[in-house]
Structure 1
Amino acid sequence: MPATWSTRIGRPRVGEVTLVVLTSLLLTVFALAWAFRVKEVCGGAPFDEWGRSSIFPAGPPRALIPCYSDIMRLWIGRDVDRHVFPYIHGGINEQGDLFGGVVEYPVLSGMLLWLGAIGAHTDVQFLQHSALILAPFALATTALLAVMTRWWVLLWAATPPLVLYAFHNWELPVVFTSVAAVAVMAYGGSVDPRTGGRRMSLRRTAIIAAVLLGVGFSLKLYPGFFVLPLALYVLTGGQSLRARRALDWVGAAWVAGTATVVVIATQAPFMIAGYDGWKAALDFQGRREADLTTNSVWYWGLRLLTGGETDTYHSLVGVLSPLLVAAGFAVAVWLGWRVYQRDGVFPWLGVAAAMLCAFMVFHKVHSPQYTLWILPFFVMLRVRWWIIAAYLLTDVLLDISIFRLMGYMHHPASAPWQDSVGVSVSVWVHAAILVALIVGFVRMPIREPLASYLTTSVAPRGPLTRLADADDADARAWVGTPTLVRGDVTLRPLRTSDAGALAKLVPASDLSLYAWTGPIPQTPEDATRWITTALSTPTRVPFAVLHDGEFVGTTSLYDVDASNRTLAVGFTFYGRAAMGTVVNPTSKLLLLEHAFDTCGAVRVVWHTHEGNSRSRAAIAKLGAEFEGLLRKHRRFGDGWRTTAQFAMTDDDWPGHRARLLERAAR
């Protein structure tokens, strides 16, 4: 069989998921390289006796993106530069300063600091080593988001936060654990091709996710909050939309218990080996005050009402902050439970995102890099574009303003007014969005294909894949747009420039000859619309029929079905002069040779009105067999047409080809 067109059916192509993953990973690599460069310029030679850069933290003057980095800052002051193993030998002094390897982060983040310091002798080397540790977490997060949300991953990989904060602090590992927990839930809930059901039971999937969330708690706390909505999701039976069963208290207990065991397992060695050092990190956070460095609504709101950082201010923050965080958690869970009662599914992912919003807005510390925490939820949930844009734009403004303003901490009166305004506006825009999202996240649908994975459904094909499918389904992908010639008869692709000739083909005086044919174009405008419709129909390939170079009619291949290798011949009409001549048999010979011999068709069909005896006789004369009447098969005028159907198969074709050749020769 000739391979001109038929071999294109089912041709292999690179999967869209692979394209998305590779594209987003390349963008992530670019963002990480940029992020490293932004922070690296904070330091450099000469270094003092402790390895501190002489230009830290100012960096180069007039830098658009502030170079300040918490990673480089902690090289001095926590005995990181002395390579002291974290927590075991340290504590906190009366002034609230940590020493002996103790850092203000949970134990696993402290271990990452210690690992990053191995082999480093300057703050720049410490940044370099830390970047090598952190970068794989960013890449892994990108890959997971790409698989779960396809092109929406670009919100993570190609927006400013990754550049601003990838190497600002130790956020990337904790972000990875929360995203990985969602990915585990998606994998466990996705369709097993062998059974058609879930790949893993809901309990087992949630328990594995709880392990990741427990690890995340020991990195930066917040993933531990997500255990509650996950346990409630298991308690209520997950995505099962059957009649409500008894609540699964055992499964929920397993989820909560697993996360608790993981947290204890990661914390206990440090508690036992150096309780004072382990507790010192907690004491530091307890003593921390909502000052300029915290960027919180407390500093930029309540402080102004209490006359500054007074005892009253700090006391109110100490009470109101935990109360409002707890209240935000309660509201998120309550709203999620209402959704469960209405829809039968507890929206654990939306509730987890809402709880994160409550923590971010009401906690007394709101560091700019926390944007990396919420950004994956912008990717996974259907957040309106203008909310995302407002949040990210003000985040850039906050990052630029706050670190400039912090340079004037000891001389606030000399700080440029625009930096104060920039921080204040950014903090309050973020706060307004986060408060709105406490309610909004719970009701937001999940993006595809993540939504299908979680519901044990087959995910919809991606946009590029759908475009490729449409291209493959197009008639031209199989039969092409050939120019076919035999003798003085030519079939070439129909063009809009044929509109004038088509309009003149059948004069009004001859319309009675075409009573069984569809509307015949009579004006150039009608002819242009007719041709445009023919060309834009995916399953049709229209031809102009030329005799001795003159336009004498039109015909089409239509209902082209490449997968079943079948097509129809129709939409044929000629001018009066071509009727009864060699034109029609030659045209049909050319089309049938192309269909059977070139494209490998197995079946060619003809349709005509049941009352069109002239057309039925012409089709039968070609050798096609009458197969029956199709009632109400096509619209015809103001009503419906009963169609007479004829067909010829590839088995019939060799016997009829010789007869057609003889007719064409005459």
Structure 2
Amino acid sequence: MTREIPITARVFPMPSAASDLAVRRGLLHRGESVIIMVTSLLFTFAALTWGYRAKLACGGAPFDQFGRSARFPVGDPNAVIPCYSDLMFLWVGRDIDNHVFPYIHGGITEQGHLFGGVVEYPVLSGLLMWLGAIGQHTDLGFFMQTSLILTPFALVITILLAWMSRWWVLLWAATPALVLYAFHNWELPVVFTSVAAIAVMAWGASASRKTGQRRMSLRTSSIIASVLLAIGFSLKIYPGMFVLPLALYVLTHGELGRSAARRAYDWVGAAWVVVAAVVTTLVAQVPFMIAGYDGWKAALDFQGKRKADIDTNTFWYWGLRPLLNGNIDLYNSIVGVASTLLIILAVVAATYLAWRQYTIDGVFPWIGASFALLAGFMLFHKVHSPQYTLWVLPFFVLLRVPWPAIAVYLVTDVTLDLSIFRMFGYLATNRPTPWYIDAGVQLGVWCHAILLAYFLVTAARMQVREPLASFMRTALPPRPPLTRLADADSAAAWHWLGTPVLTRAGVTLRPLTVTDAPALAAIGGAEPELGRYVPAVPTDTEAALEWIRAAHDDRRRLPFAVIDDATGDLIGTTSYYDVDEPNLAVTIGYTYYASRVHGTVVNPAAKLMLLDYAFTQAGAVRVVWHTHEDNAHSRAAVTKLGATFEGLLRKHRRFGDGWRTTAQFSMTVDDWTQARADLVDRVDQLVAPA
């Protein structure tokens, strides 16, 4: 009786670690969400810190009798980010420094100057300003306390956007706009209301894990969203415009759209959306109207009397004004009428384009329509403050806005910010403004105007990003990127089998690599008969490289190089393929050898190693072979291994220009004990000395 020569096996460790991660893909899904949240919040915190420190440079001792910093508004003229901030500017001139409760006692002069606690913003922004001033006596203290009030809004916006868009949230958290404008004005609360309204709609429509149904009815979620938008309206006006597309979305049955079983429009649901917005607005506004109507109305009058001057950053100033040869009265009259008229026309155009898209897709695109309305408002309004970029950013995150448009908008926004606020410093000190400052302002103004016009026309056609799109459809969203990779790895051959190196009887099987291409090509080039039954045997190096790439691209295949230990030469190749871990089954094939090793120990040793590893190490219960029905030599060799013929599979595989009928053989773990003993004896006899 001959002595058995053992098989030695080594398995590369990296795939094993990765497979362990993939097995816990449910945990990875949650872990990836945590990674996104933590990363985006860290970016947000870094942006807020940077922005805070940049604006903080505007203030500091000495202070005058009003608590105004002597350094304001220039600060450090050499700083990368201009220090100017509306949070400090408005400390003086609106009675904020005197801690006057807003709107109750004030009014507006004939020259358009506000007094007595009246500010130019809607009532809730005025209330926030008053809260920021409590206990403070300088513009710097007001800035610091207001920044503390605004910070939570930025963080919550990040969380909501991360939930709705995953990594796209970094367009909000990791772009310059948050650094430049987080503490420039009172934008963060109003942005929060619009983002929260979309999040409520998404949450309401998302599938419950318990029932698979919507978490809230369309009417309920839309009423809550409408309330949030109305609160936004009482902060900075623009979210109020979004009530119109939201109502039309409800009117047309939301994501059911024209496929709704009940074809009639939901007029009642749409009415509830409008009523909720009106009631919320009245709750916020009426107390101020009653307590101080003149002061409340003064804020509205201020906007009507406001001029499109150099500090408003609009195409009106830089485009229309030069055409009128200095006729300021005519210029102001035209802007006063044209701005309002064009905003109304923009609302009509955006609504029409969204409705036309509804007739095409069957679902009213309320988020895209909201973006279009915002773009039209920003384009034609008399004021286009740079910080309005914070209004736009959430739509860049949630909608599939073309990358070039996003990039140009953000780059020119930085240009505009760095130019216009440096210009304020020159104007405050009566110094001539350098040409490049004027050029930077005009570049930002005109690029933004062109892009806003583009968004007005195209936003209704922009698709919503995932997972928000799936949430809105009450569908399960696709797994996030890292989890998808883990899922793919969990189905890969190496996930179960690893990448072993097997050695026995002077033959080694190791993973096939691209560096094996020349040797593999030499075998095929010298023996064209190999291609008669083995498909696409490569005969040159280029074809061999492609053959190896295809083997590695097939995630259910594990290709091996067959090495002669005595010489180190590659003498053939074989593979596990059709690897089926759930059913513990593999197929052995894609096998061919150099003719000089035919009839030697090479093939029996290779098959013994592959079978022993599959059954003993990996725990397989079934191994399969496929061969051409006319390949008598191969069929005999597989039968000699102890495999059982299971029949012919007609037109089973493509073969050349046609199809191959395949003879299928198999061996189960029940057969392996006897088959192994026979195969071991056969190998030992072939390697025994003559």
8 Å Cα contact 1:506/1:576 also seen in 2: no
2:614 corresponds to 1:595: yes
Post-superposition offset of 1:215: 0.9
Instruction: Indicate the SS of the match to 1:240.
Output: helix
Map 1:21-420 → 2, pairs under 5 A: 21-243=37-259, 245-308=263-326, 310-409=328-427, 414-420=432-438
| 1:21 to 1:564, Cα distance in 2 relative to 1, 3 A | farther
8 Å Cα contact 2:73/2:425 also seen in 1: no
Shifted more, 253-262 versus 606-615: the winner is 606-615
Post-superposition offset of 1:438: 1.1
2:492 corresponds to 1:492: no
| 1:309 to 1:72, Cα distance in 2 relative to 1, 3 A | farther
Q: Distance in 1 between matches of 2:421 and 2:307?
A: 18
Q: Distance in 2 between matches of 1:368 and 1:548?
A: 71
Post-superposition offset of 1:371: 1.1
Post-superposition offset of 1:548: 4.1
Q: Distance in 1 between matches of 2:518 and 2:339?
A: 77
Indicate the residue corresponding to 2:467 in structure 1. 449
Q: Distance in 1 between matches of 2:539 and 2:473?
A: 55
Shifted more, 336-345 versus 65-74: the winner is 336-345
Structure 1: gaps spanning 5 or more residues: none
Q: Distance in 1 between matches of 2:525 and 2:342?
A: 82
Q: Distance in 2 between matches of 1:584 and 1:384?
A: 56
Structure 2: gaps spanning 5 or more residues: 1-9, 686-690
Aligned length: 664
Q: Distance in 2 between matches of 1:481 and 1:77?
A: 74
| 1:198 to 1:650, Cα distance in 2 relative to 1, 3 A | farther
Letter in 1 for 2:365: P
Q: Distance in 1 between matches of 2:415 and 2:540?
A: 61
Indicate the residue corresponding to 1:558 in structure 2. 577
TM-score (norm 1): 0.93
Post-superposition offset of 1:102: 2.2
- From 640, 645, 651, give the equivalent of 2:659: 640
Post-superposition offset of 1:278: 2.1
8 Å Cα contact 1:9/1:478 also seen in 2: no
2:476 corresponds to 1:458: yes
Instruction: Indicate the SS of the match to 2:575.
Output: strand
Q: Distance in 2 between matches of 1:295 and 1:514?
A: 72
Post-superposition offset of 1:168: 0.3
Indicate the residue corresponding to 1:14 in structure 2. 28
Post-superposition offset of 1:303: 2.2
8 Å Cα contact 2:28/2:483 also seen in 1: no
- From 650, 663, 677, give the equivalent of 1:631: 650
Q: Distance in 1 between matches of 2:392 and 2:550?
A: 48
Post-superposition offset of 1:46: 1.5
Post-superposition offset of 1:95: 4.1
- From 440, 445, 450, give the equivalent of 2:458: 440
Post-superposition offset of 1:525: 4.4
Letter in 1 for 2:170: L
Shifted more, 493-502 versus 58-67: the winner is 493-502
Indicate the residue corresponding to 2:3 in structure 1. none
Indicate the residue corresponding to 1:545 in structure 2. 562
8 Å Cα contact 2:87/2:183 also seen in 1: yes
Letter in 2 for 1:423: V
Post-superposition offset of 1:134: 1.1
2:623 corresponds to 1:604: yes
Per-residue CA distance 1:158-182 (angstroms, 9 max, x = gap): 2211111110000011111111111
Per-residue CA distance 1:228-266 (angstroms, 9 max, x = gap): 010011101112155461010000000011111111111
Post-superposition offset of 1:309: 6.0
Shifted more, 236-245 versus 123-132: the winner is 236-245
4+ residue segments displaced more than 6 Å? 410-413
Letter in 2 for 1:91: G
Shifted more, 324-333 versus 443-452: the winner is 443-452
Q: Distance in 2 between matches of 1:661 and 1:82?
A: 97
Letter in 2 for 1:404: R
Shifted more, 64-73 versus 43-52: the winner is 43-52
Q: Distance in 2 between matches of 1:371 and 1:519?
A: 57
8 Å Cα contact 1:225/1:355 also seen in 2: yes
| 1:413 to 1:38, Cα distance in 2 relative to 1, 3 A | closer
Q: Distance in 2 between matches of 1:166 and 1:151?
A: 21
| 1:491 to 1:408, Cα distance in 2 relative to 1, 3 A | closer
Indicate the residue corresponding to 1:518 in structure 2. 535
Letter in 2 for 1:255: V
Instruction: Indicate the SS of the match to 2:464.
Output: coil
Letter in 2 for 1:321: S
Post-superposition offset of 1:372: 0.9
Post-superposition offset of 1:614: 2.8
- From 540, 544, 547, give the equivalent of 1:530: 547
Q: Distance in 2 between matches of 1:507 and 1:270?
A: 90
8 Å Cα contact 1:408/1:414 also seen in 2: yes
8 Å Cα contact 1:568/1:604 also seen in 2: yes
Per-residue CA distance 1:388-445 (angstroms, 9 max, x = gap): 2222222122212222333455898933333233323322221122122211112222
Letter in 2 for 1:68: Y
Instruction: Indicate the SS of the match to 1:559.
Output: strand
Shifted more, 111-120 versus 576-585: the winner is 576-585
| 1:233 to 1:54, Cα distance in 2 relative to 1, 3 A | same
Instruction: Indicate the SS of the match to 2:648.
Output: strand
Letter in 2 for 1:218: S
8 Å Cα contact 1:291/1:309 also seen in 2: no
Map 1:574-593 → 2, pairs under 5 A: 574-593=593-612
Q: Distance in 2 between matches of 1:440 and 1:28?
A: 29
8 Å Cα contact 1:210/1:258 also seen in 2: yes
Post-superposition offset of 1:335: 1.3
Post-superposition offset of 1:519: 4.2
Q: Distance in 1 between matches of 2:163 and 2:492?
A: 28
Measured on the aligned residues, the alpha-carbon RMSD in Å equals: 2.5
Q: Distance in 1 between matches of 2:296 and 2:506?
A: 94
8 Å Cα contact 1:292/1:406 also seen in 2: no
Per-residue CA distance 1:350-381 (angstroms, 9 max, x = gap): 11111111111111111111111112112222
Post-superposition offset of 1:633: 1.1
8 Å Cα contact 1:8/1:477 also seen in 2: no
2:436 corresponds to 1:422: no
Post-superposition offset of 1:610: 1.8
Per-residue CA distance 1:27-67 (angstroms, 9 max, x = gap): 11111111111100001112223322111111012223211
8 Å Cα contact 1:105/1:281 also seen in 2: yes
| 1:370 to 1:152, Cα distance in 2 relative to 1, 3 A | same
Shifted more, 138-147 versus 79-88: the winner is 79-88
Per-residue CA distance 1:255-280 (angstroms, 9 max, x = gap): 01111111111112222233232222
8 Å Cα contact 1:9/1:563 also seen in 2: no
8 Å Cα contact 2:379/2:452 also seen in 1: yes
Post-superposition offset of 1:524: 4.3
Post-superposition offset of 1:503: 3.9
| 1:389 to 1:547, Cα distance in 2 relative to 1, 3 A | closer
| 1:305 to 1:529, Cα distance in 2 relative to 1, 3 A | closer
TM-score (norm 2): 0.90
Per-residue CA distance 1:97-151 (angstroms, 9 max, x = gap): 3333222111111121122222323211211111111111112112222222222
> Using CA pairs below 8 Å that are at least 6 residues apart, which structure has the higher relative contact order?
2
Post-superposition offset of 1:9: 5.5
Taking every aligned residue pair, what percent have the same amino acid on both sides?
61
Indicate the residue corresponding to 2:6 in structure 1. none
Q: Distance in 2 between matches of 1:522 and 1:346?
A: 58
Post-superposition offset of 1:605: 1.5
